[in-house]
Amino acid sequence: GNFVLVDVLSQEKYAARHVPGAKNIPETPDFAKTFEAVLQVPKDTQIAVYCTSSTCQASVRTADALEKAGYTNVLHYKDGIAGWQQAGLPLESSN
């Protein structure tokens, strides 16, 4: 099925570098509502959220918000961009 990768950092940070294919939905208090409006995917879509690194809590909070909103297949990539880079995987920028 569907898989959605979401970068929950600010637009500036996303523009500077992000995981290829990631959608940018910055963390906000009503994140789940924004997510729903932007992506309109079924609740059982596989969704992964990430932020900068394992010390960044935004991915934890946003994954939690999506689960509370009824999404059933959410995971957070806790190592974020730092872990992605360490694994030697490419990042892209939209600058």
Which pLDDT score, from 0 to 100, does residue 1 have?
58
Average pLDDT over residues 32-59: 96
pLDDT confidence of residue 70? 98
pLDDT value at residue 85: 94
The answer, yes or no, to whether residue 94 has pLDDT greater than 90, is no
Residue 5 CA to residue 21 CA, distance in Å, equals 7
Helix axes 58-68, 31-39, angle to 10 degrees: 70
Report pLDDT digits (tens) over 64-78.
999 999 999 999 999
pTM, 2 dp? 0.94
**The pLDDT of residue 7 is above 90:** yes
